[in-house]
Amino acid sequence: MFPPFDEEAAKKVCIEMLRELEQKKSLCGNQEFYFFKGMLGALVCLDENGEQVVLRAFSGALGGKWNVAEFVPPLFNEEKYNAAISINDKKIHELSVAPADETPEQKSVRKKLRIKLCNETLRRIYSLYKFFCADGIARNFGDIVKEKLYARFRSDEKQCFLIPTGTGDCCAPKLLSHAFENKLLPISLEEFFWNGSSEKKFDETDFRNPCDEKCGLILPAILGLKIIYRDKNILVVEKPSGLLSVPGRGEEKQDCVVRRMQRLFPKTIAQPSVHRLDMDTSGLMVLAFDSQSHKNLSGQFARGEVRKKYIAVLDGIPQNEKLGITRATKNGRLEIRHRVDIENRPYQIHDDIYGKLGITLWQRERIWNMRGGQENAVRTVTTVCFEPLTGRTHQLRFAAASPLGLNAPIVGDNLYGNEEAQAGRLLLHASYLSFKHPVTGERMEFFSAPEFKC
């Protein structure tokens, strides 16, 4: 995954760690590190007084030890961790050895029992992890990956194999959780791979970003944002469905992408957003760290130089006799004038006189059957790709649902959709974003796949 913070200051700390390992064959006076094979990392922070604090971490355990002096602790209580393992440990080892006269039926029973006991142990272990997040809240695995964890279970036994083994033991989550627990502000993060006592010389490729498989699962929750790209001028994030883009009126509407960005990066300008996504829409957003970048990006949006694409799942099959859209139509262009319904905000209504023109290109991807809704019934749905050429409020939602458009609302749309076609969220995702970098002028492209089936 993309490194969430600048790496320069932390890289200097990592280089000092490397020199100590190479010259003294130890680290912080501990010789076990010389033979350690895994990731080592550093996080440079500021405390509440603005003083610099350096944190260090290693991935996994060091020679069977989780707590080592001068390094951040694991994200669980080591005593409880060992107790959780010991419950089934002996039996699991016994079941790992096949008896000489074992029949195929007995082998199947033995393997199933071993898997069951391993999953019981994993459940106990995962319940011990505690992640301190940027918002000050301590979360567990159930809070962070609940939907991913249970989405594909086929049996009533909720096994934990969907979380990769070792998730939560990498350097980045340990460092960031410790920092947030102690009210420290992270400013620089770097990690490197140490290959034990290998004769292979260290090079730049041994500096690593947080991993996608494990860190990518939990760091967005710890940070409050899924960071797709970051430099000194801009930040690209993937907004989850249900989160506001910018703060609204009232205390209950302050949690948003902008506030979370400013919490992680306090030097961000007061108004970093240059565009918005509806609260129910997920996907790519670009924000600016400085006023000049904000001005440049805002100009690109105003001039229509930014390309955006969305993936949506529509309830039904797009059909509109007046526009010549039939079941066989695969793409088209929609032009509809609409405005807010003054008596029913933020609902949009068609208005050829006072409405603003919304122009949308659309392309059908596939027609398929989806199970869901209040009665878990099977519904025919259509996956489409939208490319808005204008940026009107609810433009895509209105274009999909309107009789003047595709006449097929987006699944999960609580404003324009059918109550029977609910999916727990709006199935609309900003999947593509392209613009010129506000400083270098380089054309940048970002892609993001939706979490929902499409």
List active site positions.
278
Residue closest to 176 by CA, chosen among 1, 18, 4, 2? 4
The whole-angstrom separation of Cα 309 and Cα 430 is 6
Cα–Cα nearest to 216, from 452, 434, 1 = 1
Distances (CA, A) of 321 to 105, 324, 325, 362: 62, 5, 6, 17
Closest by CA position to 257, among listed 233, 284, 293: 284
Task: Return d(Cα 210, Cα 227) in angstroms, integer.
Answer: 12
Q: Dihedral (C-alpha) 175, 176, 181, 182: value to the nearest 10 degrees?
A: 70
How many other C-beta atoms can be found within 10 angstroms of the C-beta atom of residue 428?
A: 28
Return the closest-CA partner of residue 435 out of 220, 233, 212.
Answer: 233
Task: Identify the CA nearest to 382 among candidates 449, 315, 450.
Answer: 315
| Phi and psi angles of residue 75, each rounded to the nearest 5 degrees, phi first | -95, 25
Structure tokens at 296: 């440049």
Contact between 412 and 421 (Cβ < 8 Å): yes
**Which two structure tokens, joined as six digits, stand for 222?**
């710890």
Residue 250 structure tokens: 């009232």
